[in-house]
Chain A
């Protein structure tokens, strides 16, 4: 380990002394320190902080990805400039050399991430202290409750739509509705019927009520704490003032909890968050919320419209599970996991190719990993539809490419799965399970595979150049 550590220390010194890391540090500083003065978001305090964190963290991720690839040139440079002659003639195993280089880059990234995280944290508080207030009472509370917090989001439990669908299916069969229907598929029909019942459930007509139930609301149930119900409603027909008025009733007297009646005036098609005292959560950690589509405000226009709670915007309950600070730490760990994988890829490339080629290949992998979902759907679409129109040779080539892609797909991770910036910016919990998944899958499995390939390749190659 001492040899690996020596190489790692040297890699760090190289990054700093060659000014490459310093240039990126300055850039990072300019971005993180300069953003608060150039971003206003939606002019609210919450918007300003969210915009700053979103841009700041995204820029940090991108700059450190660039830095990782540029630092990996160390191996290619040492091969070209032949400093490696002096290292490889010392008692240094080739795996120690590659591992040491990777460790050096990883540690540099980690230190930069810590610097960036600390700066972002300080600047968030700076913005909080200096941003011109719109509503003194509301601004800071909103920021603290919505953003500078780590909240867990639970979707409501959906009713069983399959059972009524099955009953209707049986009824329809008995009535002979499906007789002589060409291409009839009972499974597809049952799914269609279940979707129909779900669609009925998702809309609430005038003067109707809907029950949303949440389970496993593992929050502190003290009366001074709050949980939030978050939702976004669509309507069948837009009212003139684009506002709907309704009533939320939260709590379940049958389970001995107090009940809160919360009348709301909310803008249509916007997310809204309703604070509810945490003691409305039942001792069995369930929370029941009743939605009444009727106007509780006397004298205001009656709202006779259908409310639609769409599947894409599921009703959720949010409750605090941790601090903003630890959430930031977990986010930085996720970012670090991605950089560790990228560093392994970059070293694999520089052991095989000259720096420009390795640089291009590394960035290609970075982009592929970032856009994997999109690329997957594109290639699937190509193979399914277009391949039928091509000649057999083209089909063969297409399938070969697909096969290659599937191989790459196994190695190249989907970075979007581990992108927690948006989650963090919205004050959601970057869960420890998520972080552990990233550590296990990105670092322990994929990084080790790629780094192993780099070591194997480096072990087999001759480090001296041909000179006769």
Chain B
């Protein structure tokens, strides 16, 4: 990330103190907060309830005024109207007009961005398709479920194709399909180069999509940094293979013992994540055309939110919801992922195995996720530092020693 580029959002010594009727300080919601969000970053604002996340966001949007400190968004104060034209905001709840239908809602917000009528109409249709509510576009928002209203909230946040998207608890109130789509949208927009500020206390969401995070507690910044750096574990290794026989596992164990003088801590069959399982069931129901008054088939992320050259190939959106508009194929069978870790030392053993005696460098595999990392349908990201030759060598040696073949996972 280009740290030298002018930051999209920057705060310096930001303080917000809520006062009572007599102007006496009541709550110090944000204390000396310094943020710097660079262009193209997906930035996570983490913290428990009441930690000051939403207050910070409200100050960035000019809804609250800071007690002290300085805020700049795109180099200007947040109250500047021209700045707001470049921002999309999804609040923690939908806060939509109950008497407007979905179509009118998006049109209204489009008008506020002074989008031409043709662009407004086109984007409204595309966004309604994207959030799967085109069929319900003529119903008043007041009749929508919370999740449906939330989807319209997402659509309105994207109507202006924002350069900076601020999402406050974006997956709150959404079903797993919506939550997944929300994350896909965030990832897609991040790939397009948009800057995204995401506030959440759902850690998995943040971990899935963010490049950098700041953790707040009591209004103060407690930790900040690149998410991969913050979460990296260097004391364990996870290797995922097709199912192995007991004998092979024993051989691997012996090999590890021999080479590293360490034992395997956990061997188990991975489980599909509930989210993936749920999405598959819903997909099957959609293929079977089962009637519902709720969200129907989700559409693709509109072109205007994507790079023309990066049409995101076989993303989950296309395989899961894009199926709505074309012949739907069953989801590709996912490779099982490692099950829950039972004990940390297992990783240490495998980690040790992957270290070559020569250089003793760390080797990590991101393809082999541990149970705390959510499964992803997209191609696994392979870190540049991985040495796959080590794994191949390991398995070849095991084969040579036993000649057995079976199915198991370690």
Contacts and interface: CB of A to CB of B under 8 A. Distances in A.
A2 B114 contact: yes
B112 A14 contact: no
A389 to B, nearest CB: 37
Contact of A83 (B89, B97, B111, B113): B97
B260 interface: no
Name, among B54, B84, B219, the residue most crowded by chain A CB atoms within 10 Å (CB to CB): B84
Nearest to A464: B63
Contacts of B62: 88-89
Name, among A3, A92, A467, the residue most crowded by chain B CB atoms within 10 Å (CB to CB): A467
B27 interface: yes
Contact of B89 (A17, A81, A85, A468): A85
Nearest to B54: A467
A235 B405 CA distance: 131
Interface in A1-38: 2-3, 6, 10, 13-14, 17-18
A225 interface: no
B156 interface: yes
Contact of A468 (B55, B63, B91): B55
B112 A91 contact: yes
A329 B194 CA distance: 56
A466 interface: yes
B96 A83 contact: yes
B93 interface: yes
A81 B52 CA distance: 21
Interface string B58-98: 10011111000000000000000110110101010101110
A86 to B, nearest CB: 6
B18 A468 contact: yes
A468 B29 contact: yes
B99 interface: yes
Interface in B30-77: 50, 52, 54-55, 58, 61-65
B127 to A, nearest CB: 15
A10 B108 contact: yes
A187 to B, nearest CB: 57
B114 A91 contact: yes
B377 interface: no
B24 to A, nearest CB: 14
Given A82-B91, A83-B95, A468-B52, A462 B63 contact: yes
A87 interface: yes
A86 B91 contact: yes
B109 interface: yes
Nearest to A459: B79
Contact of A91 (B54, B85, B108): B85
A90 interface: yes
Interface residues of B, number: 35
B99 A17 contact: yes
A411 interface: no
B74 to A, nearest CB: 12
Given A13-B100, A82-B93, A91-B82, A464 B64 contact: yes
Contacts of A3: 111-112, 114
A406 B206 CA distance: 60
A86 B52 contact: no
Contacts, number: 82
B54 to A, nearest CB: 6
A86 B109 CA distance: 8
B50 A468 contact: yes
Given A467-B54, A468-B50, A462 B81 contact: no
A449 interface: no
A86 B111 CA distance: 13
A93 interface: yes
Contacts of B100: 13, 17
Interface in A121-179: none
Contacts of B18: 466, 468
A10 B112 CA distance: 11
Interface in B92-123: 93, 95-97, 99-100, 104, 108-109, 111-114
A118 B381 CA distance: 72
A91 B63 contact: no
A463 interface: yes
Contacts of A14: 97, 99
Name, among B81, B111, B112, the residue most crowded by chain A CB atoms within 10 Å (CB to CB): B112
Interface string A24-59: 000000000000000000000000000000000000
A415 B97 CA distance: 36
Interface in A421-468: 462-464, 466-468
Interface string B17-32: 0100000000101000
B111 to A, nearest CB: 4
A89 B81 contact: no
A81 B93 CA distance: 10
A90 B93 contact: no
A231 B286 CA distance: 86
A22 to B, nearest CB: 12
B63 A89 contact: yes
Contacts of B104: 13
Name, among A17, A87, A92, the residue most crowded by chain B CB atoms within 10 Å (CB to CB): A17
A91 B113 contact: yes
Contacts of B109: 86, 90
Contacts of B52: 468
B112 A87 contact: yes
Nearest to B93: A82
A403 B189 CA distance: 61
Given A86-B156, A93-B81, A468-B18, A6 B112 contact: yes
Given A6-B108, A92-B81, A463 B63 contact: yes
Interface string A69-108: 0000000000001110111111111000000000000000
Interface in B197-213: none
A18 B65 CA distance: 32
Name, among B52, B65, B108, the residue most crowded by chain A CB atoms within 10 Å (CB to CB): B108
A89 to B, nearest CB: 4
A468 B63 CA distance: 15
Nearest to A15: B99
A42 B316 CA distance: 81
Contacts of B111: 2-3, 6
B96 A86 contact: yes
B89 A86 contact: yes
Name, among A17, A83, A466, A468, the residue most crowded by chain B CB atoms within 10 Å (CB to CB): A468
B343 to A, nearest CB: 40
Interface of A: 2-3, 6, 10, 13-14, 17-18, 81-83, 85-93, 462-464, 466-468
29 contacts: A2-B111, A3-B111, A10-B108, A17-B100, A18-B99, A82-B91, A82-B93, A83-B95, A85-B61, A85-B91, A86-B89, A86-B95, A86-B156, A88-B62, A88-B63, A89-B61, A89-B63, A89-B89, A90-B84, A91-B81, A92-B112, A462-B63, A462-B64, A462-B65, A466-B29, A468-B18, A468-B27, A468-B50, A468-B219
Interface of B: 18, 27, 29, 50, 52, 54-55, 58, 61-65, 81-82, 84-85, 87, 89, 91, 93, 95-97, 99-100, 104, 108-109, 111-114, 156, 219
**Which 6 interchain pairs have the tightest Cβ spacing?**
A464-B63, A17-B99, A90-B112, A91-B85, A6-B111, A89-B89
Given A83-B95, A92-B112, A468-B27, 18 more contacts: A3-B114, A6-B108, A6-B112, A10-B108, A14-B97, A17-B100, A81-B95, A85-B58, A85-B63, A85-B95, A86-B156, A91-B84, A92-B84, A462-B63, A463-B63, A464-B64, A466-B18, A468-B55
